[in-house]
Chains A and B, each alone.
Chain A
Amino acid sequence: MKKEKLGILGNVLMIVCSIVIIYPLLWLLGASFKSNNEIFTTQGILPKEITFEGYVKGWQGIGQITFSRFFNNSMLLTVPTVILTIISSCLVAYGFSRFNFKGKKLLFGLMLSTMMLPNSIIMIPRYIIFMRFGWLNSYKPFYALALFAANPFFQYLLIQFFRGIPRELDESAYLDGCSSVKILTSIIAPLAKASIVSAALFQFLWTWNDFNNALIYIDSVKKYPVSLGLRLSIDSDAKVGWNKVTAMTVLGMLPCVILFFIFQKSFVEGVAKSGLKG
């Protein structure tokens, strides 16, 4: 039997829906090139007159701290967090998918159950732990949580993929004298590249967009990531000028958009895989 077709009416409906969904984002992009008195007086996307004022003035930031600082900080926060997450979740996923050890089932169950634990319950004690370490107002709490694989989502995602890699491959490598580390780095990881890319993408987006943790852990403006910098700028947006805020908001979204369009396929596959039994 052929696949059900969408039909003309269905296509028209979907096109209308797509426009409705994307329009606000395009409006924001357009608004970042509009003059301040045009932003809230017209509904169109294209500016009557293109101005870069929002970008030029917005980039200068707040006080003496420019947006280049905020972007730098966001990269310093996000990139090591992503790398540490990938390393730790590969190791843990490898351990769970390829080794047999006492208590494995129980530990695996416990790991999955922490996905259902509301963050608020562990947020305060974690804050106090990091405070005692003297790690407040630094990115160390983020690195530590990544290094210790605190978000089980990534292990879960990778385990789903690792299990799909035929065991015969690593068995024969083992018989050829490969060490277990070598099997992970030269057989499993290359074959699971797509899933590792999608895990990295998710962690990048989540860390880049994260506001809640940044709000708690970072308090000096010098160390603010983009999210906190943006919040500062909207506190006085009417005075500051709308187009500065819209321009910086667009820049804040840009890394996510670029990554999404480059890696769209592994992205969508990652989401789909996370929800289905592997």
Chain B
Amino acid sequence: MYRKTKTFTGISKNQIQGYYYIAPWLIGFLLLTVYPFIISLFYSFTDFDMFTFKFVGLENYKEIFTNDDTFYGSLTITMIFTVASVIGKLSVALLCALFLTRKSNLTGFYRTAFYLPSIFGGSVSLAILWKYLFKTDGLINGILKVFSISRVNWLGSPDTALFTLILLPLWQMGSPMVIFIAALQTVPKELLEAARIDGAGIVSVFFKVKLPLISSVLLFNLIQQTISIIQFFTPAYIITQGGPIKATYLYSLMIYDVSFRNFRMGYASALSWILFVIMIVYTIILFRTANKWVFYEDGD
């Protein structure tokens, strides 16, 4: 009755119905995403305290770039945090995935254990746990003491506070790990065997066979994790509140303070747009260079 050559038959013939089904998203997209997106650009050219507008042109941007040391400080810290966390998280995730794609009776247990911290996301519970672990008399220092290493003031010292926060996403590497595992399982076994017969060791099998074959997934993880980590908020807000002396004053904290504490919605919108433009440039660079390092198996 149906012809396979034709992609759409039967219910699919009805065009209007498709719009009905996507209507919830389409309405939400226009009202809760497109409109906010555009109006936020407009806000960034105003002085706006949630009730009254004053158009100020490029004043906000001028102030940010020429007269806001907090901005440069926060941006630097955020870049360090994001680069270190993303690279660390993806490395740990990939390393674990390489181990977990090998055969063992305990694979299920390992996978559960490695994934478990990730289910708590950016929750307050997790932030509290992290705070207690790295307290001066917390678990980490207690364990270090066993190895007679003296107490470190992890969260109270500007030199270590950011590092302590960078470690958190590394502990929560479950989702990129699972995605890497799924990708590694698609690597054809014949290829691995051929490489081994040619005398390739574990390291060169990884770099010459496995890594190129999962590079598109690596690109996906890289983009997704950067977007999520650059918006890292709860732990920094709960554990360090940006301190000590703004050593962990991440961009998301700054935007929150400017908008919801000082009610400078226009200025905060300008800050958000700067972050957005940085993200766009980053993503474009990744995609532009992708054809040099991402290996696509098929045409689509």
Contacts and interface: CB of A to CB of B under 8 A. Distances in A.
Given A4-B103, A275-B179, A180 B17 contact: yes
A148 interface: yes
Contacts of B110: 14, 17-18
Interface in A237-278: 242, 245-246, 249-250, 252-253, 256-257, 260, 264, 268, 271-277
Contact of A122 (B37, B131, B178, B182): B37
Contacts, number: 311
A124 B179 contact: no
A95 B280 CA distance: 29
B175 interface: yes
B223 A116 contact: yes
A202 B269 CA distance: 29
Interface in A30-80: 31, 40-43
B87 interface: no
Given A144-B32, A234-B128, A170 B223 contact: no
Give the size category of B's interface with A: 35 or more
Interface in B9-63: 9-29, 31-33, 35-37, 39-40, 43, 50
A108 to B, nearest CB: 9
Nearest to B142: A43
Interface residues of A, number: 105
Interface string A185-227: 0000000000000000000011011111001100000000011
B192 to A, nearest CB: 7
B123 A227 contact: yes
Contacts of B268: 124
B234 A96 contact: no
Which of A99, A147, A273 counts the most chain B CB atoms within 10 A? A99
A231 B32 contact: no
A9 to B, nearest CB: 11
Given A148-B27, A211-B124, A253-B123, A91 B35 contact: no
Interface of B: 1-2, 7-29, 31-33, 35-37, 39-40, 43, 50, 96, 99-104, 106-107, 109-117, 119-126, 128-129, 131-133, 135, 137-139, 142-143, 146, 171, 174-176, 178-179, 181-183, 186, 189-190, 192-193, 217, 220-221, 223-224, 227, 230-231, 233-234, 237-238, 252, 255, 259-260, 265, 268-269, 271-273, 275-276, 279, 283, 300
Given A1-B189, A257-B119, 18 more contacts: A25-B116, A25-B129, A40-B142, A99-B8, A104-B18, A117-B276, A118-B276, A123-B259, A124-B43, A125-B37, A125-B43, A148-B29, A170-B10, A209-B123, A215-B237, A246-B132, A264-B112, A276-B183
14 contacts: A10-B102, A21-B117, A25-B129, A104-B18, A145-B28, A149-B24, A171-B9, A205-B119, A211-B123, A234-B238, A249-B125, A275-B224, A276-B182, A277-B300
